Amino acid sequence: GGSAMAAVRDVEIDPEGTFKYILVRLQRPGGAEQRHIVRGTKAAEFHNHIFEKLNPEMEELGYECKCLGGGKIDHNSKDKKIRVFGLSTGYGKADHSVTVELLKKVYTDYEITWSDDKK
């Protein structure tokens, strides 16, 4: 059912700072149901560190994960601003516009922008 998928949060990012993020597609094996999630943390030195932690967790819930790319997130909680930019060397650039739509669902009162800038 949809309950397990609903239990997976759309967005899990650090509350403050600039850090790497990835955009991931979750899918039931052989199923049509799919969704996108955003994960980002300062704890990850490389984008694949985020994916390598996420993937087994999602497999346990019965999902296949595909990383659709990455970038960076600059999260300024004081000014309620999030900036999405950059890319992942390994995974390529995520579609930041998709990431922004997901962020807007969670950070409803934030100003959220994206660009293809590297910094």
- Binding positions for substrate are 20
Identify whether the C-beta of residue 54 lies closer than 8 Å to the C-beta of residue 63: no
**CA-closest candidate to residue 84, choices 106, 104, 105, 112:** 112
Token digits of residue 71: 């970038």
Token digits of residue 115: 């660009």
Q: Is residue 47 annotated as a catalytic residue, yes or no?
A: yes
Q: Are strands 64-76 and 34-41 parallel, antiparallel or unpaired?
A: unpaired
Q: Annotated binding residues, as ranges?
A: 20
| H or E stretch at 104 | helix 96-106
User: What is the strand order of the sheet 34-41 is part of?
Assistant: 11-13, 34-41, 17-27, 64-76, 81-85, 111-114
Q: State the catalytic residue, choosing from 36, 47, 75, 96.
A: 47
Active site residues: 47
